[in-house]
Each structure stands twice: as structure tokens, then as C-alpha cells.
Chain A
Amino acid sequence: MGQVIKKILIANRGEIACRVMNTCQEMGIKTVAIYSKGEENALHVQMADEAYDLGEGTLAETYLNKVKILEIAKMTKTSAIHPGYGFLSENTEFCELIEKNNIIFIGPKSEHIQLMGDKITSKNKMMEIGVPVIPGYQGSDQNAETLKKHANIIGFPVLIKATAGGGGKGMRIVFKEERFFQELEAAKREALSSFGNDHVLIEKYITKPRHIEVQVMSDTHGNHLHFYERECSIQRRYQKIVEETPSVALSAELRKKICETATVITKEINYRGAGTVEFILDTDGKFYFLEMNTRLQVEHPITELVTGADLVYYQILVAKGDKINLRQKDITQRGHAIEVRLYAEDPSNNFFPTTGTVHYVGKQKRPGVRLDTGIKDGDIVGVSFDPMVAKLITSSQTREQCIEKMKRAIVEYPFLGLQTNREYLIKVLSEDQFISGETFTSFVEENSHLSESEISDEQKAMATLAHFLSSRAAKGQKSGSTSVVDSSDIVQDYSGFRIQDI
């Protein structure tokens, strides 16, 4: 019989903390939030039943402070900790520390985190159990000549990748043999300065790859389920910005094969909880294991919208030791879902992060539109945390409808006051290549013109109209006269409201 979970501490912030709390509230479980200086009035703090201050300081002193978080968990008599994504979600030490103190870690066992957290051990394991991996060399002989010999065996183009890497650092694509040593040196230098370790691996570079990942969920009773795929090929600087499910690239047969491969992995390693197996899909229909993320992913909502499952609910259920009462054939994909990530950034300035006060998030509510955010009106977005301010998720019967719905939703959540990538996202969704499903991981680079921002005189004039009306309203308030155009009593007919291309 399962354990009882009465209270969960969410060791995270922002939208994911709010997302987890929503399910906790649904399940009647009390929640504990943690926060750092300046976040006293943050949405995740307001939503929680209790909230505790981690104080001021670096991330290591706040959200990554294992001891402090454990202390708060003990003090509040928390039964379980949900780590969200990022921060301590894939930290074996934290997982062990929590469980040693008889608090449930809502996630896999530390051995799974360890195995999948290292690119080499995970790849070796995959080869051992017969899961295809990208041809490559992961040996300990780091001699430049040896590495080049292997690059020649694999065949150019090759990718040089830091073993300890992530986020594109210490990563180099080499198209020609002549450039190999030069790029190797650069990759090693970057790896050393970023990770303190210049160990690299070499692998085949796939020229038209798609990023396909499979959502998995396993309980401790031998059930290893999948919730189908997500395609996340649209990435900028190795970070996903648009995700969708189902993928247009998978036939029913290929879908079955790739999803079953994912559950072969979870069965073989006797996995526990939610996870994502990432694959690279080549144009010839071959797919290769990339990595497994042993946590809830940012883009999990699209899976929830097409399968109807609440993944956080199942995470909690599994953590209690309960059985998932679902058979694989009960899980189906219905319709289409898309997620876009709203970042505080300027696409026309190399996607550099921006800061500002969000005066108005937007409040339109429509069926099939979900906004996951930790930001509310009046919040300040600074540089202390990840610049992702929200996730917007739409679902519809067809992919075409879903794209159109998303373009409208982006306009309806303007995040006024903050420069975001919203316009860029609309352009991506309007691009022929995207509409026709020609989505490869090179999309952002190939369509670099989309990040240029030109302002037409018509757009400026419309903005000036807003300024004219607001300055006149301000004057009207002072003198006591009423504005000619203020007609807040007019009932708006939304059915006539269309999105226009500008």
C-alpha cells in the first residue's frame, strides 16, 4: 500500500511551481513554497499554503541550497518534495539527502539520475540494451590524432561535444577534415572554462535532424507507460521555443516503434516516475537515442492536452508507491497541441535578454488555450533568473487550426511593458516551412530573417493612436470632462474580431 502525502514542498519558482501547486490543490495536498529576496509577492508564493524565505544571495545560496531546503521541509513536516525542472531536479545528492531524511523525492531514484545524467554512461547503457545511438567515439584517449582518426571513421560532418556539456557550450560542428584540429581546440577551451573538464566526444552530425522526444511514466509495480511523442525541432541556441504533438514526421508505424523503444529503456533500467527520452530523427526514418531527462519537462503541457492526462498527478501517485491504473491502449492522442515559450528577450538583438515591468499580462480566456506563467500584472522581470516568462499552449482538432489559435493567443497575452519574443513566435508560426511541417533543428538559423524587426508607418500610427487616447484620457480625468471615445459600455462582439496580418 502506498504512503500518504499530505504536504508537498515545491523546490522551484515561477510557472513550474505554480503548475505543480495547481495539481496539489486539485488533490487536496497542502503546499510549501520557497522564495528568494525580492520574490515576497511572487505568484508561486501567493498560491502556496506556506512560504519560506531562502534569503538573499546567489542561486547556490538559495534555490540550489540543499541543506536549507531540507531544513524548511523538516520544519514544515513536508511529506514530499517536488523539484520541478532545472535547479535540483536532476541532482543525485539532493535526491539521496531527501530520502535519507524520510522525505519522498517526487522523481526517479538517484541511480537513474546518475545513469542518465552522464552522456557516456547513458550511451553505453543504450548500446548494451540494443537502442540505436548516433555513431561516435566516446573513448578516454583524448589525443588529438586519435580523435581525428575516429572522426574519419565516423565520416564528416562530425560533432565535437564536451562530455560534461549542455546548452551548446563546448560544442562544434566540423564539416571538413582540414578544420578538425582548430575546432577541437576551441571546443576543449570552451569546455574547460565552462565545466572545468575538457573531455570531449565525437559523433556523426546529422544534417536534417528533427528532435523527437517521448514522454514516459513508470510506477513501482512494473508498469512502464508512454504518453506519445513531442516534436521540439524549433530551437534557438539549443533551447526549444516551439513544441508540438503529434509530430508530422511520424507515420503510425514509426510512432509505435519510437514510443516502444522509449518504454524498452524504462523497463530495462526499471525506471520510476516521469521522464523524457529524446531522440534525433533522420530524414530516412532512422532515429537515435540522444539523452533521457529524468524529470518533468518544460513542454509537458502539450502532452497533457492531447492525452488528457495530468502528468503531475501521476508523478505524485507514483511517488506514493501507488499503481497507475492505466493500460497503454487506454492512452490515446486526440487532436493537436502546440506550445510556445515566451522569453523576455530581443530576437533582433541576438535574442539577448531584456528586463522590465509587466504592466498587463492579458486576461482573455478561451477554450483550448492554456497560459502557464509565474508572472502577474506589475511584476518586474530582472536578470536573476531564466528569461522564460510564460508558456502558451493551444490545442485544437487539427494542426492548422492549432497554429491559427496560437497566433491569436499570442496577441491576446501582450505582456505589456516587457520586450518579448512574441512577434518572432508569430512569424515562426506564419512561415511556410513551419506550416508545411518542414521543421528541422536548423529552422531558426535558416530563417534568420524572421528575427529582424521592422516597424511600418502604419504600425507606428496605431501605437500613436493608443498614446493619443491615453494622454487624452489622462487630461480628461484632470479637467473632469469625459472623453468622446470612451465607450467602455459598448458590448464588444468577439466573433467579428479577426487577426490581421500586418
Chain B
Amino acid sequence: MRKEITINGEISHYSGVSDKNSIAIELNGKKFIFNNVSVDNENIYFEFNGENKSLSYFTHSGSTFCDVYGKSFHLKKVEKNFSKSSVGSGEGLVSPMPGKIIKVCREVGDLVKSGDAIIVMEAMKMEHTLSAPNDGVVKSINAKEGELVEGGLHLVDLGEVDDSK
């Protein structure tokens, strides 16, 4: 059965079949065979393309965190009804990383053009400007100047300009 997952935020489809200690994974239409698979606490050992390999992993509330030779992975099953609503129809701005809100340049109700600066953030020693991705009207702002925010937080909602007025 094909399953929908996100790999570091990217939607992917996979299926897995095991036969004794071999596992075949089909990922986005490509097939990969892992032989001599064994699990020892946080480590998985296997043979892949003729080479012995290992990786470490950890499962936490439905997420799998794993490390492939220094590269970090976060895999998560896509929840069907959840995925639709979280994408939503509204456009907006999301904090790209944790940091401090330096400046909120616009107010709710303001008309903005694509590329207009709405929020200026600071993380470490650098400033980062969050600009409108398209023309629209600012519907809500979920950030205050001086506030510390996490990465991935929805900061600004943009709506379509109502031409009828």
C-alpha cells in the first residue's frame, strides 16, 4: 500500500515490503533494496548497493527523526483531513526561522503590493525582511515589535483586494 509522507517537509509516496531480513522500499516510483537489515536500539544496520551502512533514528509522536551520515531527516505521515485545512486558501507570511521581530511595517487593513516589506526580523546578526508574496490587503498580523518568535509561525494573513468597494 502506498503511503503519503513528508520528508523534510516535501510530500513523498512510498511503500515497503519485507522478506526475511531484506526490505524493498519504493519511493516516488524508484525501488531500493536493503539487505541484512537489523535494528539495535537507535541504530539500523543494513547493506545497500553492496556496502555496509548504518543510520540512527528516533520515533516521537508519529514523527521519525533520522540521521544519514550527518544529514538530518524528519519524516511524518500525512494526515489526510488535516493536510487540506492546514494548506488553506489564504496567502500570508510565515517566519522562516526563529528570531526577533524588529519592525512591523504595515497595519491591518493596509493595501500592499507584491514585494512590499511587511515585517523585519532579526536572527543572530542578520536582518531578514518578510515581503508580500502578492498584491493584497493585510487581514491580520500575529507579531509585535520586540517579540521572539519560533520558526514556521504564521505571522501575517493576506487577503484579496475587494474591487467592488
Contacts and interface: CB of A to CB of B under 8 A. Distances in A.
Interface stretch (B61-69, B112-120, B137-145): B61-69
A458 interface: yes
Given A168-B125, A455-B8, A497-B52, A426 B75 contact: no
A486 interface: yes
B75 A466 contact: yes
Interface string A340-353: 00000010011111
Contacts, number: 197
Contacts of A387: 124
Interface stretch (B10-18, B85-93, B103-111, B157-165): B10-18
A359 B61 CA distance: 11
A136 interface: no
Contacts of B2: none
Given A359-B60, A383-B148, A461-B27, A420 B44 contact: no
Contacts of A500: 51, 53, 69
Contacts of A486: 39
Contacts of B18: 472, 484-485
A418 B72 contact: yes
A350 B75 contact: no
Interface residues of A, number: 66
Contact of B58 (A352, A360, A464): A360
A342 B51 CA distance: 28
Interface string B15-35: 010101101010110101010
A352 B123 contact: yes
Interface string A471-502: 11110000000011111101010001111101
B41 A488 contact: yes
Given A383-B99, A457-B27, A426 B70 contact: yes
Quick one: which of B38, B77, B96, B99 has the most chain A CB within 10 A?
Answer: B38
B84 interface: no
A425 B70 contact: yes
A340 to B, nearest CB: 11
Interface string A104-144: 00000000000000000000000000000000000000000
Name the interface size band of chain B: 35 or more
A27 interface: no
A497 to B, nearest CB: 6
B125 to A, nearest CB: 6
Contact of A465 (B8, B20, B34, B42): B34
Given A237-B125, A462-B48, 16 more contacts: A354-B97, A359-B58, A417-B58, A420-B72, A455-B71, A460-B12, A466-B44, A466-B57, A466-B64, A466-B66, A466-B75, A470-B57, A472-B16, A473-B59, A487-B38, A487-B40
28 contacts: A349-B96, A352-B126, A353-B123, A354-B151, A359-B60, A383-B98, A411-B67, A416-B57, A416-B66, A417-B58, A417-B60, A419-B72, A423-B72, A426-B69, A458-B49, A461-B32, A462-B34, A463-B64, A463-B68, A464-B14, A464-B25, A465-B23, A466-B55, A468-B23, A473-B39, A485-B39, A487-B21, A502-B71
- 10 nearest A-B pairs in the assembled complex, by CB-CB distance: A414-B67, A423-B70, A463-B73, A466-B57, A468-B16, A461-B32, A470-B59, A466-B66, A467-B75, A467-B64
Interface of A: 167-169, 237, 346, 349-355, 357, 359-360, 362, 382-384, 387, 410-411, 414, 416-420, 422-423, 425-426, 453, 455, 457-474, 483-488, 490, 492, 496-500, 502
